[in-house]
Structure formats: structure tokens, C-alpha cells
Amino acid sequence: MASASANGANALLVSVVLLATLCVCTATSPYAAGLSEDFYHTSCPQAASIVDAYVTKFLKKDRNFAGAFNRLQFHDCWVGGCDGSVLLNSTETNQAEREAHVNFGLRGVAEIDEIKAGLEDFCPGVVSCADILILAARDATAKVGGPTWSVALGRRDGVNSTALMADTNLPFPVLNFSGLVANFAAKGFGAREMITLSGAHTIGRSHCNGILPHLYNFTGRDDATDTDPAMNKNFSVFLKKLCPQGNRTNTIFIDSTANTFDRAYYKNVLQGKGIFITDSTLITNPVGKKVVTTFSKPRSSFFTEFAAGMVKMGNLGVLTGTEGEIRKTCQFVNE
């Protein structure tokens, strides 16, 4: 009887161990297949620290580069996946993504190439431009007061880049709420995640190119009075001084605290001070307005959710293994 009881106990223990092992093995990873946090552990152990040092250098020169690096990750990952294609130059026969209308004024490409050159000195042919983008966006966000997050690496660089793909996939700054929801849904993101990642506008600057429709062509009349009626009147006067009708090249900070990652963006939107139509439209939907209001308050989950959104974005369409290549310089495919 005692032997039978012991055998039963042993069988139960084995079952528990097997179940625990199964649970560990089938635990869902937050990263795409082929990516890992220690990918360069042996091939280039100093990779992350080198990127971090360069980002610190660039932010000391211009703290607003934090917004540029954030924008680069989004504009890269949203078009065919996180493969560094946004960095490629056009050729005689191809207009690359950087030439797209939606990429007007894109900054940070030369800086990413400088980081790449520094990495090539230590670990030639190892670290991809795609991974540099992901690391730079994370490091820059944290250095200007935002959240940090774990980054999985192992992406490889793509060899295709077209302006048409960028203009087809990226959201133009004139989309309304439903248009934004549809654009993000196509990439597997919900409405709340869209509002969360819109919070990247808390840092950075923009050329007037994307702001003019909000000031002079909101309903399609294309005149000086065709301004979004929901925009704060004093704010619209202020913007029109910085962005006169027809001037596409002047630059303006997107947020009242544009060099600091904080919740001011959401407060500005609630006050009718959204720079783009895509900012102001967030509160035209009751669900959107509720999320914006929540994120505008201290101790909200905005930072945590933003970090999770950036990790999820970093998984889009990654090339791993033998796919793609590791570019020698980020603006050119290898010969």
C-alpha cells in the first residue's frame, strides 16, 4: 500500500515537472522569431554601448535628435518591416523611401551612418543598420526623460526601398480618427496603441509642410481662413506666424516641451493645440478622448504602454538568419 502511494506521488511529481517544463517552453516571447536580447553577445559585445555613446554625443549637440530617431524607427518599420530601408539612398532608376512625400524633412540618417562607421571599426560586418535604428530610438527616448525598454536584436538589412511603398503605408498628417485606426490596424495595432504611439510627438519638430493643411486647407477651400475650428484661436495665430501660407520649409517644434519626453503632448491636444490634423483628431472620438485624457494625467500608464508599443513595432517584418544583408554603410546596399 505504501509502495503504491509512493509510486502515485512520484507520478504526480513527474507530471508537475513536465507541465512546468511545457509552460516554460511555450511561454510567449515578446520578440519576433530570430531576435534575442543577447544576439551580439559574442560577435560584438560592445554594440549597445557604442550606439549609446553616439546617441549621447548627438543629443548633446541637439537634444531634439531624440524625436528624429523615434521618427526613423516608425518610418522604417511601417514600410515593409524594420529592415533599415528608410536609410537607403535613391539611385538613377529608383526613388527610395526618403524621397516620399510623407518622409519630407526626415532627419538622423547621417547620424545613423556615423554610428554604423563606429561599429564597423570594432565589429566589421556584424551589426545591422536596422538594429542601430531600434537601439538609437530607445536610447534617445530614455535620455530625454522617457521610458526605456529591453531591445531584442538580430535584424538584417533589406535591399529594397521605394518612395511609393512609403507613401502607401505611412499615415499622412491629414488623416482623421478612423483613417488612423485603419492604418494602424493594418499593422496589427489597436486604437489605443495608435494613440499611445502618437505620443512620440511629445518630442521632435516638423517642417510646416505637414502643418499647412491644418491651418489653411482644413475643409479643402485652401485659403487663409480655412483653419480647423477646433484649434485654439491664439494657437492658430501663433502657428500662422511660424508657418505662413505656402511656406513648407520653416520648422516648428511639435510640442510645447519638444526636447523632453513627457505627457505635455496629450495636454496640448486637449487644449486644442495639436500641431497636425492627426493630433487634433484623437479627441474627435469619445474613446480616443478618454485615452488622451487618461494619458495627460500624472502616474498614467502612458510610459509603460509606449515602451510596449515600441517593442511591438520593432517586430514588424524583420529579416533574420540569411535573409537580407548586413550593410557596410547604411545608405547603400552592398555591392
Give 6-74 as a DSSP string. HHHHHHHHHHHHHHHHHHHHTPPPSS-TT-BTTTTTTT-TTHHHHHHHHHHHHHHH-TTHHHHHHHHHH
Among 102-106, 157-161, 177-181, 288-292, where is mean pLDDT lowest?
102-106
Among 9-18, 52-61, 234-243, 321-330, where is mean pLDDT lowest?
9-18
When pLDDT is averaged across residues 291-312 and rounded to a whole number, the result is 97
Among 19-33, 84-98, 232-246, where is mean pLDDT lowest?
19-33
When pLDDT is averaged across residues 202-227 and rounded to a whole number, the result is 92
Rounded Cα distance between 76 and 79, Å, is: 6
Among 6-15, 135-144, 243-252, where is mean pLDDT lowest?
6-15
Among positive and negative, which fits the CA dihedral 282, 286, 288, 290? positive
Tens digits of per-residue pLDDT, 133-170? 999 999 999 999 999 999 999 999 999 999 999 999 99
Tens digits of per-residue pLDDT, 250-283? 999 988 898 999 999 999 999 999 999 999 999 9
Cell of 243: 508657418
Picking from 100, 105, 65, the residue whose alpha carbon sits closest to that of residue 79 is: 100
* pLDDT above 90 for 79: yes
pTM: 0.89
pLDDT for position 29: 78
DSSP string, 127-158: S-HHHHHHHHHHHHHHHTT-------B--BB-
- Asked if 211 and 243 count as a contact pair (C-beta separation under 8 A), the reply is yes
Q: Residues marked as binding?
A: 76, 79, 81, 83, 85, 97, 171, 201-202, 255, 257, 262
Q: Residues marked as binding for heme b?
A: 201
More confident: 3 or 77 = 77
Active-site position among 75, 101, 207, 214: 75
Domain boundaries, the chain: 46-204+254-314
pLDDT for position 27: 54
Given the candidates 3.40.50.720, 1.10.443.10, 3.30.450.20, 1.10.520.10, the CATH classification of the domain at 46-204+254-314 is 1.10.520.10
Q: Residues marked as binding for Ca(2+)?
A: 76, 79, 81, 83, 85, 97, 202, 255, 257, 262
Active site residue 101: no
Picking from 131, 220, 134, 140, the residue whose alpha carbon sits closest to that of residue 174 is: 220
